[in-house]
Structures are given as C-alpha cells and as structure tokens.
Structure 1
Amino acid sequence: FPGGTRSRSGMVETHLKLGLAGTAVEAFARNVTFGVKRPVFFVPATLNYALCLEAETLIEDWLKGAGAARYIIEDDESSQIDRVTAFFKKLVSLRSAMVVRFGEPIDPFGNAVDAAGGSLAPDGRSIDPATYVCRRGVPSVDATRDAGYTRELGEILPRIYSRETVVMWTHLVAHVLYRHLVAESAGYDLFGRQRRRGEVAMDHAQLVREVGEARDRLLELESANHVRVGPVLRNTAAAELVTQALDAWRGYHTKTVARQAGSEVVIEDPNLLLYYQNRLVGLAEELATEDTLAAARRITEEVSR
C-alpha cells in the first residue's frame, strides 16, 4: 500500500510511505558495495475494483479524520458474514469487477529498465545504476545519500500510480452524480454536503449525457497516457453504464448509494458516492465541461486538500 494502509478516502495515493522504498534502495547499495550481483527493481501495481467491501467504514473513518489511527476496524463490513457473502455473490455477477495493472518496472533511482533488466537514461541510453552509489568510483552505503534517492522515488512512484490507475464504471457514474450534488449544494461545505441524504436528484437523461461526455474525455486522457480505462467503461453505452452502476450498488451496501425514481436518480448516500468518485478527484477538472467546471473545481479544492 503506497500510503502504508488501505486508501480510506478511495483516492489514488499521492504521498508514499518511504520506509519500505528506503529499505530497497539501501539493499541495492549494499549489494553493489559487497559485490552481490542482485539487481533491485520496483514494479508499480494498481488494484482497481468496481465495488469495495468496506467502503462505508473507510470513507466515514476518513471523514472523521481518524484513518491514521485505525487500521483494524472492529465493526467494518468485512467482519460481517452476510456482507462478505453478498460481496462475493455480487463480485461473480459483475463483468470486470477487479483489474490488477502492473506498470513498467523501474530501478531504485527511477530509471526505466529494458527487457534484460538494464537501466535506461531518459534518452534511451544504457546506464549503470551502480554509479549512483559510488563516490569517486568506489561503492558505499551512505544513509544520507540513499535517503535523498528514496525521497525522489516518493515523488516518482505516485505519478506512475496515477497513470496506471484503471477507471471503472462505478467510479465514473459516482463522479458525475457527486459533481451534480456539489453543483446543487452551493451553500454547503464538504461535511454539510455529506448530510444531504435523499435531498438532491439528477435528471436521468442528463446523467446519461454527462457520463458519456466524461467517458469521451477519459478516452482522450488514456490516449495521452495519463490514465487507463476499464473494459466495461470503454465498451458499454452510457445509459447501460448508469444502469449497471446503480445495480452494482443496489442490495450490496447496507445503505442505498443512489436510486432511480421515475425520470430522476436520487442521491441517497453522499458518503459512499464520495468514496467511489474519489478515484477521479485528480482528473475532475479535465473531465468537466464549461457548465460543470465550477463544481469540479470545488471537488478538487475540498476533497484533495
């Protein structure tokens, strides 16, 4: 886990816990110093899922500001047998319920590596990573120097995680619904808005249209190598994406996330909606149109700060 534990907010981690990374950098330095021919590589991987078993507890914990102190939660959903059973039943019925994506490996200094494991400079030249731990040609273990390399990794890896994140259809539908909630809650801050259960509805046709527009922008971002798009989100009509998201949430969480009522979709649980949409916080403004940009900016400012 990049942040040390599970992401309680649902956001892609932007701050890396450096302890384990530092151990790997030191291990490489020791290997070179003592003549051990054993390379060290980092392989960034992202876990991307349409449903999260513990979403209710995780997002409430994050909103309370207690996430750092509570890794094991006594009353979380995974401790309830009926919730676990419901989770697996729902999981096997979904297409592309989870995607594990492995990014390209890098060496301990953030350089790309080729198929043979050799380090490459940004211009594609082969380089010897051992030179990073040498002083006047002599390899050594230097805690201060290696801490600097580790901090650089702490900046490089989150950028890779963001690029290798796979957006699922539940993330996108939740984002569009939550953006509408923000637009309709001008006089509320983040925490006041989260209490608006069942008060805000979005026209179904508008929801479908905005999901389609946002999906088109996601595909453009994917073409620019900024993010990845899940197979269901890529290949399914916008109206069906909305239907599938509402169905995926229905009967799974103990609280209703959103429900269709006639020609509208009513937002019932802003907390769960926030959790699922948070996967797209970093892209909120890029997914917005001129009409929705103000709400997208509020999401970016309030949620990611």
Structure 2
Amino acid sequence: MKPKGKSKNKSYKPILPGTKHWPVVQLNKRRKEFIERTVEETLKRVTEENPGTQELREELETTLHREKLRIKQNPWRVDPPDEYKFWENVKNDLLELAGKPESRTEEEEILRRIIRRYAQEIAGNFKKSRYKLAREIIKFGFARLLNATRVKRFGAFFRNQYTLRDKIQITGKAKQLRKLAKIGTVVMVPTHFSNLDSVLIGWVIHVLGLPAFIYGAGLNLFNIKIFAYFMNSLGAYKVDRRKKNFIYLETLKMYSNLALQEGAHSLFFPGGTRSRSGQIESHLKLGLLSTAMEAQRNTFMKHPDNSGKKIFIVPVTINYNFVLEAPALIHEHLKRLGGGKYYLENDEYSTSYKMLKFMLKFFTKGSDISVSIGKGMDLLGNYVDNQGRSIDQHGRFIDTRDYFTHQGEINIDPQREDEYTRRLSKIIVKEFHRINRVFASHLVAFTAFEIWKKKYHKLDLYDVLRLPEEDLIIEYNEFKECFGRLREEVYKLKKKKMVNIAPHLKNDIDEVIKLGISNVGMYHTKRPLLFNKKGDIITHDMKTLYYYHNRTDGYGLEEYI
C-alpha cells in the first residue's frame, strides 16, 4: 500500500532556472513587434497567392461576405463589440474601390487592416504572474476536492494528504520529453476528447518541469469566463473555427509558424476539435502541422551552420473514464453521420457554473485519468533519441535537413512539404493507437455494445441505437466470457506494442468488470452501463454507450465477440 502523502508520480525539477528564460515569456515581451511581424508576413503570403489586383479584390469580397454571414448566423458573446462596425467599414471601402482604376495600394491597406485585426485576436497574452496564480489555483482547488472525497472527514478539505498526482497518472516518455525541450522546440500533439484537456495538459506540462507551452484554444471556450481566465493565463492563443476564409487561416498559420521559429514550445490538437464519436482521431487537420514543417525548413535556411533548433513532435493520449460532453458530442456525430436519420438534441455545457459543477463532480469521483506520452519524433515521423538525433526504420542516424534539400541546397517546395505533412499525420495516428491506454471502462463498454450489435446484426446502427431498454439485457456469465476473450486479445496487442493498458485491467476479472461498469459514464444522469437487480448487464443510454465503446474501436477486437 502506498504510504500516506506520497505521490505515485515522480516530481520533476524545472528544466530552466527561471520563468524569464521561458520562450513564451520572451515572445510576450515582444508581443506588439511579433504581431506586426505576423501581419507583414501574412500580407506577403496572401498577396503572393493573389498577384492580380482583381484577384485580391475578389479575395477581400469573399472574406467580407463570409464574415457578415458569420456575424448574422452564428454570433458569440466573446465577439468584440465593434465587429459589425468593422466589417461595415470594410464593405464601404470596397464599394468605393469598385469605381476606381486598379491601384492595388488601397486593396493592400484594407487587407493589412483585416490581417492585423485577426492577428490581435489570435495572439496570446501570457503573463508570468497570472500563470503562477492559475497554476496554484488548480493545484490548491483540485487537491482539496480529492482530499474531501477520499478522506471523508471534517477538515479534510484543508489537508494535503492526496494530490492531483494521485489521480492523474503520467506514463510514457516523460524523461525524453524533458531532454528534447532543453535542446529543441517541442510540438506536443494530444488526442482531444473534453474541454478539460487544455487545463489538464497545462498542469502536466507544469508537473514535468517544462516551461509553459503556447497552444491554440477554441475561441468558443472564451465564452466561459473561468476557462477564459485559465487559458489566457496558461499560454493560449485563440482559434475561431467559424472563420474559414483564406486570410484568417493564413494569419493563424503564420502566427504558429513564427512562434515555432522563435523557439516557443507549442501544443496542437491535431484532430482540430474534440472527438465527436469518442474514437481516437483517425484523420488529422494538416493546417497547424504544416506550420511546424514550414518553421523547420525556415529554421534550417536561416541557420546553414546547423545552429538552429530542431522541432520535435511528441504524441500524447488522454484517457478518461467519462467525458462530461459525451451525450452532446455523440448526438452531433450521429446527426452528421446519418443526416435525416437522426435528430440532434441540445446538451451543451456553456457556462462557468456548469463547468465548475462538472469539475466538482469529476474530482470527487474515484475515477482516474491517464496521460500517456509517446516517443519524440522529427517532422518526418522518425523517432529521435535523447540527444534529438533522428533514427530511420533501419536504426541508422539521419540528418533531417536532407529532407528539405535539393541539389545540395535547402529550398522551398510546397508540394514536397505537403506530402511530408500527410505522412507525419498518418504516423501520429498510429502512435495515438500504440500509446493509448485501455481502461476497464473502455473495454466493458466495447464488450456490451458489440454483443448487442451482433445479437441484432440485421439492424443498422441507428436501429440498434433505438432498441427499447427491455431488449437490452446481457446475462452476466455471457458478458464475463466475452469480456475475458477481449481482455486476452488486448494483452496480445500489448505484447506487440500496439496498445497500452491500465494496471487495474490485470486484476480478477469480476473485480475488473465491476470497476469498469461503475466508472463508465459515471457522471451522466442516464448511465450507459449498469447492473440490474439480478446482476445482469443493462443500459439506460445506448447512444452514450456507443460513444464509450468507440474508444477501443480500431483494434479489430469485434472479431472475438
């Protein structure tokens, strides 16, 4: 038994002596200058893509049209109060240009105003004092919630017997991550399931003794005041996924590109948004990944003596027993997948009160979280050693610079880099599955759903999801037999290094099943899996069960039901 007050996870010293040396702090000191550099580099990129004056006017008109639609159809509280006025001014300026000869100077000035507005919105505003305060609030508040629920006596709220490290298990290549962060620029790429992910990863970065990372957080989260405070304090820059126009996307990518060239460690959620289905991401967004590719090439070009920092990709998987947003997310996924076959219900958690209520429930339940850190890779998906040297599939050391070289010179080749980015995204997906940690809750959900799916094999997915609860009962012994077979297959996958498992999965099978069923979706009012009075397995929410089932999808386990 673990001694009282001891943490399961090792305590790490900071890799840098003080916060003033953090790349994100240095970047924020030059915030205005950095924003202007982002503006000018984006302006250059957009004008190169629109060489003709008429082309540029059309690009501006398209942006205006899309932005006015966004304001009308999908406004958010976080939008600036002068949003409508700004775009009305752009509209009037473009109308004035319509009758003038093509000069381009005025078009470029309108473009510059738009880019500057985007860059100022995107840019983070990291402050050391707020970072430290946010970090201490997280440590203090969550730790006391843990003590209050685990000790269950008066005064436990104010004690330090248990810490977040007792609840959040950090596994994998933490030591290598620390070493790589000392010698290069790290891009951490986690799976994304919950709005809690950003705060959780920020805490993990602190525990590992790493300097603060910058990361893109959905602008919608800034509608929630408590999240806005923490994300502003922890290094977030804003990403507005409503904005699909070329000018905004180029501004966002340039901000990320230049920050990486400045050595700012970064965090991308490469899936782009939370997984709606509950599955590990299988198709990644290439936009921000491509900025890392371009930043690495630019760094090599600026430092022909090989003194520039190397960029390292570090995959991370986050494992929860339950996700607050699961019912809303799976509703949205099924609606997208089935079109008219499915009706979307509204189940959003969009206020500070609701998020605080969830955190209280989450941290007072006996449910663990696991953060699995994968091996570091270069931009081509090759593993690197602790010195940051790239190793090919034959075990040979290779120079990443060679991948960006043509006829002895590093050159710009967008088509080549696009191919590299696609290759990297596929390798990251494989790494996600390899370092994923199977919990008992994941496996019981998979087992139950697949048993019902096979029993009603003539029905399509939507018909299975609509089955009445009285038809959804699995005798315990049948469930136990199927679960045992699947667990054995998971063990085999573990031996092949194709997946990882939580230690509790090796316990007595009845104990594991009981643990899994008690943990899966424990917060939800309608439980996705539970025992009836006879001890058999039932569900009160087949759709949410499907969400949790999907976490273990992609390993071929359904063949053993």
Same fold (TM over 0.5): yes
Which of 416, 438, 461 is the equivalent residue of 1:190?
A: 461
The AA in structure 1 aligned to 2:325 is E
Which of 379, 394, 411 is the equivalent residue of 1:123?
A: 394
Aligned equivalents of 1:239, 1:77: Cα separation in 2? 35
Q: Show the counterpart of 2:495.
A: 223
Which of 273, 286, 289 is the equivalent residue of 1:21?
A: 289
Q: Show the counterpart of 2:63.
A: none
In the alignment, is the contact (CA less than 8 A) between 1:246 and 1:258 conserved in 2? yes
Aligned equivalents of 1:244, 1:170: Cα separation in 2? 7
C-alpha RMSD over aligned residues: 2.3
Aligned equivalents of 1:228, 1:5: Cα separation in 2? 24
Structure 2 counterparts to residues 1-305 of structure 1, below 5 A: 1-35=269-303, 37-65=308-336, 75-77=347-349, 79=351, 81=353, 85=357, 88-95=360-367, 97-198=368-469, 199-234=471-506, 236-249=507-520, 252-261=523-532, 262-283=534-555, 285-286=556-557, 288-289=559-560, 292=561
The AA in structure 2 aligned to 1:56 is P
In the alignment, is the contact (CA less than 8 A) between 1:50 and 1:170 conserved in 2? yes
Q: Show the counterpart of 2:263.
A: none
Structure 1 residues 2 and 130 mapped into 2: Cα distance closer, same or farther (>3 Å)?
same
The AA in structure 2 aligned to 1:168 is F
Query: Could you list the per-position Cα deviations for residues 248-282 of structure 1 after superposition, in whole angstroms to 9, with x for gaps in the alignment?
Result: 24762021213322142122211111011101111
RCO (CA 8 Å, sep 6+): is it higher in 1 or 2? 1
Q: Compare CA radii of gyration and give the structure with the larger one.
A: 2
In the alignment, is the contact (CA less than 8 A) between 1:168 and 1:230 conserved in 2? yes
Aligned equivalents of 2:409, 2:531: Cα separation in 1? 68
SS of the equivalent of 1:101 reads strand
Aligned equivalents of 1:80, 1:194: Cα separation in 2? 32
Per-residue deviation at 1:92? 4.0
In the alignment, is the contact (CA less than 8 A) between 2:472 and 2:539 conserved in 1? yes
Aligned equivalents of 1:45, 1:196: Cα separation in 2? 36
In the alignment, is the contact (CA less than 8 A) between 1:53 and 1:78 conserved in 2? no
- TM-score of the superposition, structure 1-length normalised? 0.85
More displaced stretch, 260-269 vs 213-222: 260-269
More displaced stretch, 117-126 vs 261-270: 261-270
The AA in structure 2 aligned to 1:65 is R
Number of residue pairs the alignment of both structures matches: 282
In the alignment, is the contact (CA less than 8 A) between 1:197 and 1:270 conserved in 2? no
More displaced stretch, 187-196 vs 256-265: 256-265
Structure 1 residues 196 and 108 mapped into 2: Cα distance closer, same or farther (>3 Å)?
same
Aligned equivalents of 2:365, 2:548: Cα separation in 1? 19
Aligned equivalents of 1:84, 1:258: Cα separation in 2? 25
Per-residue deviation at 1:213? 2.1
Aligned equivalents of 2:291, 2:521: Cα separation in 1? 44
Structure 1 residues 259 and 74 mapped into 2: Cα distance closer, same or farther (>3 Å)?
closer
Identical-residue share of aligned pairs (%): 31
Aligned equivalents of 1:210, 1:107: Cα separation in 2? 41
Per-residue deviation at 1:20? 1.0
Structure 1 residues 87 and 178 mapped into 2: Cα distance closer, same or farther (>3 Å)?
farther
The AA in structure 2 aligned to 1:208 is K
The AA in structure 2 aligned to 1:12 is I
Structure 1 residues 80 and 247 mapped into 2: Cα distance closer, same or farther (>3 Å)?
farther
Per-residue deviation at 1:188? 1.4
Aligned equivalents of 2:515, 2:466: Cα separation in 1? 25
Query: Could you list the per-position Cα deviations for residues 137-183 of structure 1 after superposition, in whole angstroms to 9, with x for gaps in the alignment?
Result: 11122222211111111221111111111111111000110011112
Aligned equivalents of 1:216, 1:169: Cα separation in 2? 13
SS of the equivalent of 1:219 reads helix
Structure 1 residues 251 and 237 mapped into 2: Cα distance closer, same or farther (>3 Å)?
same
Aligned equivalents of 1:74, 1:264: Cα separation in 2? 32
